[in-house]
């Protein structure tokens, strides 16, 4: 049973009783392209899920043939006549939406059924995992129209690395799901008819784990990345494991393991 949390037509949010939230771009006639209004709706939706204590996993999905064509053409026409100050403000809104998605406290899964162009590659890069159909394709197309993938760049570089980013930022080549997987942008590639099942399997894998530990593990990855291994970092990681071992879920998990039973979160 799904309970609607967000009612706009272009972005919907649903959450199941098991805590699976799905944010869906719903502009299939526009290939799920986004403009300033959709960006505001996505930001609100992501914040809504992030602040929902019952949400344990979030799936980012879309309707129709394409995952997202990136920026809406009508929006780009409007931006062309904007002043520098207006363009800066507009870019800041997009950057904030990406920041919120990237740092969601719970695990996030991009479910990519088709083309993901421009800013949509940023959406995929901001998610912890991406499961793609064999029909999915990707393109950082900005330089073709005299632009650059600026606001999405920190997340794309983090996802696929500097070398690949230099190539695809400059060439605007279209690449497909298997290449995206080899680059690290996509976690799994499946047949189109298996996309729903593969996403559900990943959701169940995540739900089998301690909710508090999953959130702490995600934050751990952010906090230790690119850090020098020194006494400060060693003390910090030692404090984190000591804290979670003595937490309610840490105690329940260890006890359940020793008693050879399911922990409480699996029995919910």
pLDDT number for residue 5: 47
Whether the CB-CB separation of 102 and 58 falls below 8 Å is answered with no
110: left (phi over 0), alpha (psi -120 to 50) or beta: beta
Give the pLDDT band (50/70/90) at residue 268: low
pLDDT band at 79 (very low <50, low <70, confident <90, very high): confident
pLDDT tens column, 131-186: 999 999 999 999 999 999 999 999 999 999 999 999 999 999 999 999 999 999 99
Parallel, antiparallel, or unpaired for β 11-16 and 2-6? antiparallel
Evaluate if residue 1 carries a pLDDT over 60.
no
Averaged pLDDT score across all residues of the chain: 93
Q: What is the pLDDT of residue 142?
A: 94
The pLDDT score that the predictor gives to residue 7 is 43
Residue 27 has pLDDT above 50, yes or no: yes
pTM passes above 0.85: yes
Q: Pairing mode, if any, of strands 174-176 and 137-139?
A: antiparallel
Asked whether residue 209 carries a pLDDT value surpassing 80, the answer given is: yes
DSSP 127: S
Per-residue model confidence (pLDDT) at position 73: 83
The domains found in the chain, sorted by start residue, are: 2-207 (3.90.226.10), 211-266 (1.10.12)
């Amino acid at each position: 049973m799904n309970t609607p949390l967000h009612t706009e037509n272009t972005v919907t949010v649903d959450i199941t009783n098991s805590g699976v939230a799905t944010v869906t771009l719903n502009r299939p006639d526009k290939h799920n392209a986004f403009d300033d209004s959709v960006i505001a709706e996505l930001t609100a939706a992501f914040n809504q899920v992030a602040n929902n204590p019952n949400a344990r996993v979030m799936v980012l999905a879309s309707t129709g043939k394409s995952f997202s064509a990136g920026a809406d053409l009508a929006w780009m026409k409007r931006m062309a006549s904007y002043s520098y100050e207006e363009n800066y403000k507009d870019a800041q809104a997009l950057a904030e939406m990406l920041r919120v998605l990237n740092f969601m406290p719970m695990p996030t899964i991009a479910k990519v059924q088709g083309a993901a162009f421009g800013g949509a590659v940023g959406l995929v890069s901001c998610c912890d995992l991406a499961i793609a159909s064999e029909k999915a394709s990707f393109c950082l197309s900005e330089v073709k129209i005299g632009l650059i993938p600026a606001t999405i760049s920190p997340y794309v570089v983090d996802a696929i690395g500097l070398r690949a980013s230099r190539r695809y930022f400059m060439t605007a080549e279209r690449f497909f799901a298997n290449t995206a997987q080899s680059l690290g942008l996509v976690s799994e590639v499946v047949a189109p008819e298996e996309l729903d099942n593969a996403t559900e399997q990943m959701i169940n894998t995540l739900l089998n784990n301690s909710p508090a530990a999953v959130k702490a593990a995600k934050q751990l990855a952010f906090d230790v990345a690119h850090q020098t291994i020194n006494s400060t970092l060693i003390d910090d990681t030692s404090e984190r494991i000591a804290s979670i071992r003595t937490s309610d879920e840490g105690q329940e998990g260890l006890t359940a393991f020793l008693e050879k039973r399911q922990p409480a979160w699996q029995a919910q």
